[in-house]
Structure 1
Amino acid sequence: MRIVVCVKQVPDTTEVKIDPKTGTLIREGVPSILNPDDANALEEALKIKDRDKDVIVSVVSMGPPQAEVMLRECLAMGADEAYLISDRAFAGSDTWATSKVIASAIRKIKDYDIIFAGRQAIDGDTAQVGPQISEKLHVPQVTYVQDFKIDGDDVTVQRELEDGYELIKVKKPVLLTAVNSLNTPRYMAVDKVFEAYQKEITTFTIDDLDITREGVGLKASPTKVFRSFTPPPKGKGVMLEGSSEEVVEKLVVGLKEKHII
């Protein structure tokens, strides 16, 4: 069985700042990390591999050449092989164009049984790429996966909801997107770090894929980011003290002063 895990190198959003004049992200000096939800997706694939040594875990990422460092971290965690999809033609791709590129790469890898992806990336929070990949590959999808079981060609999934979960049964091949409650990602294994840097990472350019230059990149992307901004800070909170009756009275007076009631 082959499991393909879609991963992304993202800026650490705890370190990101926004230029107040241009409204764009300031990426200079911001460290890049493996997208957290993608780490959960990779961990689940590795857990399956732990139980079945015949499982092959392949990680796939679309990004600039420096994303190779993140892919080697995935190899050090236990992945078997890594693919980097990198070409200047992909620059500016939105989720639609990005999913088109990744789906093309997965078709080239072939013979996959499960595709894992994170619920969403912390630099965009769209949660669109995983589902769009499944649509382009014509395979079923289940998002927000918090637990699942594999029985032959059947996959029974618990899909996380706000007030419980939904139980869904699908056939392989299938695409699943992981939430952080699914597991706790493992660390890189010390004995695998050296091995990870000895492995070859396969790089796909646009010439290796069954897509055209006109179908990817900024010009082929139907969505545009209008503006990025930091929400204004909230006002200082007020602590009310006294007996329950006094607190209620102060609260009502305060709400009336603000014309809330």
Structure 2
Amino acid sequence: MPVFASAVLRSSVVSRLRAAGCVFAEEEARILLAAAATPAELAAMVRGRAQGRPLEHVVGWAEFAGLRIAVDPGVFVPRRRSEFLAAEAARHARAGAVVVDLCCGSGALGAAVAAVATGAGHPVELYATDLDPGAVRCARRNLAGTAARVFEGDLFAALPDALRGRVEVLIANVPYVPSGDIELLPPEARLHEARPALDGGADGLDVLRRVTAAAPQWLAAGGALLFETSERQAAEALAVARAAGLTAAVSRAEELDATVVTAVRG
């Protein structure tokens, strides 16, 4: 922690954050004080957070599955609940498996799966795609040490055609917030993250339908598509996956309020 981070200054930062409505003011103050190199930088960071910018955009990173993930302004911030999706995907990633992270955002999910696989001594062949150029830049930084290839483009259209029928683990953290619910999101998300990363169409499942319709062409036999959804959307999301000919089941992590569907090609 910088030498200027005195108890008095720490208390002042906490008070400013509390006044701005930050629920976890003490923890956020600790992160800001550790991240700032000078008093002027700290003041700018506190001001940005008090104005409603996501903490992760203010400091430039998010903690995810034990990794520090770079997150630039405007890029979707990886949620802690998505650690469950990463863990479920990692369970399917055998040695040398072709893993694809669609709608990769910052690349957090791919990075987490690659870290687990490498730590277990069986690295995977990782690819990632996103439509947002800013997200692609972040993902390339976050995946730089994994030999991953990151592409800019719309879902499968961005992938090399040679991957058709070879993908063993397909992670698709598609946007699933219904369009009408976007205005109900916290301002950190609604105002500071790219809308296409949040908006899943009228019922929240538009992008999922596109992914599941094409997934059987890209999955290897026995390959798995894994995606996150909300608990209330789970039954309909299951039906969407099954309509594409996939064998699908739901997993739930109550402590993270996380719901994941795993859909396997027979």
TM-score scaled to structure 1, two decimals?
0.34
Structure number, greater radius of gyration: 1
Of Structure 1 and Structure 2, the greater strand share is in 1
Of Structure 1 and Structure 2, the greater helix share is in 2
TM-score scaled to structure 2, two decimals?
0.34
